[in-house]
């Protein structure tokens, strides 16, 4: 396009003559811009590839190393009668039954505490007290709570039980308390988000039918938001089920199966993984049988880690499917 070559004779004297060629980018500049664009594209794709390496590596190594000892015997036995690297009477090398029981009970305890409290708290924030100093304060503190490091949550539960139930108290419920401290803010936030997107029209429609506020909330608002709340709660569970540090100091660690949440120490899967990892290797004294495996603690750690990953992934999957399939179309 060469319309920059103006016909000077037709120009009135006042208008400046502009040579648009001056503003044209040089060819090398255009090429440089293009190169930069491509370079950034490559860098961005590379960032993604780099991030994929650890994820694949974590999942792959856990699968490969874990599958070796991942069998029914491992799932159905605890760690009693396991001596060094020797095989047990059932020809296994101990297992994680006690840790699965502990994980399920402690997490269930945390659920029972934090889901009702979290949901009712967000009902309070969205349905009863939307504005004002109290609600601002609660919002702020929920944010503070969600930033509490998990080890501090553990210290809190430990201190509370030490003061209220006597020093040195370790039991499963103490772990549940620590976990619920981590879980409540997640539940409050996701539920609040879900309640906010329930259209106000529905609340008005229900109230206009002469329905009381409580029934409007439980049967219309919460019902409409239910899939989102359930899925959010499941994701919150998936987050705390892998917590290790707070349980290390509150629930303790034992080798036998303890089904009583309120008394006695309990082992959970993440703690089991950590404890086996810390053992490094098992003892096979001279003269022990050929079935003695020195590397068995690491193998158990990997197998338990595989179990843990499976639980977390399945929970994530269920949460997402619920959110997707049962989503209530409001428009």
Helix, strand, or coil (residue 177): helix
Dump the DSSP string for 98-128. HHHHHHHHHHHHHHHHHHHHHHHHHHIIIII
Residue 69 CA to residue 296 CA, distance in Å, equals 9
Residue 5 CA to residue 273 CA, distance in Å, equals 78
Which residue from 31, 67, 259, 313 is in contact with other proteins, where contact means CB under 8 A? Answer: 313
Other C-beta atoms lying within 10 Å of the C-beta of residue 104: 15
Among positions 18-37, residues that touch other proteins (CB under 8 A) are 33-34, 36-37
Does 217 help bind other proteins (rule: CB under 8 A)? yes
Residue 229 CA to residue 35 CA, distance in Å, equals 48
Question: Nearest approach, Cβ of 65 to other proteins (angstroms)?
Answer: 8
Determine the size of the site formed for other proteins (CB under 8 A): 110
Question: Nearest approach, Cβ of 230 to other proteins (angstroms)?
Answer: 13
Site string for other proteins, 45-64 (x = CB under 8 A): xxxx-xxx-xx-xx--xx--
Does 16 help bind other proteins (rule: CB under 8 A)? no
Residue 171 CA to residue 247 CA, distance in Å, equals 10
- Let me know: does 156 contact 249? Beta carbons within 8 Å: no
Residue 268 CA to residue 54 CA, distance in Å, equals 25
Helix, strand, or coil (residue 87): coil
Does 248 help bind other proteins (rule: CB under 8 A)? yes
Question: Nearest approach, Cβ of 296 to other proteins (angstroms)?
Answer: 14
Site string for other proteins, 99-118 (x = CB under 8 A): -----------------xx-
Among positions 249-268, residues that touch other proteins (CB under 8 A) are 249
Of 9-17, 259-267, 286-294, 295-303, the segment contacting other proteins by CB under 8 A is 295-303
Among positions 129-188, residues that touch other proteins (CB under 8 A) are 129-131, 134-135, 137-138, 140-152, 155-156, 159-160, 162-163, 167, 181, 184, 188
Does 83 help bind other proteins (rule: CB under 8 A)? no
């Amino acid at each position: 396009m060469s319309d920059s070559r103006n016909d000077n004779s037709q120009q009135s004297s006042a208008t400046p003559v502009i040579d648009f060629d001056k503003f044209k980018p040089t060819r090398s500049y255009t090429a440089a811009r293009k190169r930069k664009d491509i370079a950034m594209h490559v860098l961005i794709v590379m960032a993604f590839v780099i991030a994929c390496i650890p994820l694949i590596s974590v999942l792959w190594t856990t699968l490969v190393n874990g599958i070796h000892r991942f069998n029914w015997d491992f799932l159905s036995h605890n760690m009693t009668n396991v001596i060094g690297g020797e095989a047990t009477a059932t020809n296994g090398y101990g297992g994680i039954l006690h840790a699965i029981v502990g994980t399920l009970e402690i997490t269930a305890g945390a659920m029972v505490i934090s889901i009702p409290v979290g949901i009712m708290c967000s009902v309070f924030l969205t349905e009863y007290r939307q504005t004002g100093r109290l609600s601002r304060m609660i919002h702020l503190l929920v944010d503070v709570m969600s930033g509490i490091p998990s080890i501090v949550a553990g210290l809190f539960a430990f201190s509370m039980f030490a003061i209220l139930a006597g020093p040195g108290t370790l039991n499963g419920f103490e772990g549940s308390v620590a976990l619920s401290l981590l879980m409540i803010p997640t539940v409050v936030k996701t539920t609040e988000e879900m309640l906010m997107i329930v259209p106000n029209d529905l609340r008005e429609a229900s109230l206009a039918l002469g329905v009381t506020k409580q029934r409007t909330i439980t049967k219309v608002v919460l019902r409409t938001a239910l899939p989102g709340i359930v899925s959010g709660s499941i994701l919150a569970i998936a987050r705390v089920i892998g917590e290790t540090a707070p349980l290390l100091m509150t629930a303790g660690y034992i080798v036998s199966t303890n089904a009583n949440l309120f008394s006695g120490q309990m082992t959970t899967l993440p703690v089991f993984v950590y404890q086996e990892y810390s053992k490094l290797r098992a003892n096979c004294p001279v003269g022990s049988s050929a079935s003695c495996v020195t590397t068995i603690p690491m193998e158990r750690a990997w197998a338990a880690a595989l179990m843990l990953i499976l639980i977390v992934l399945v929970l994530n999957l269920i949460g997402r499917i619920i959110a997707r399939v049962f989503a209530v179309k409001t428009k």
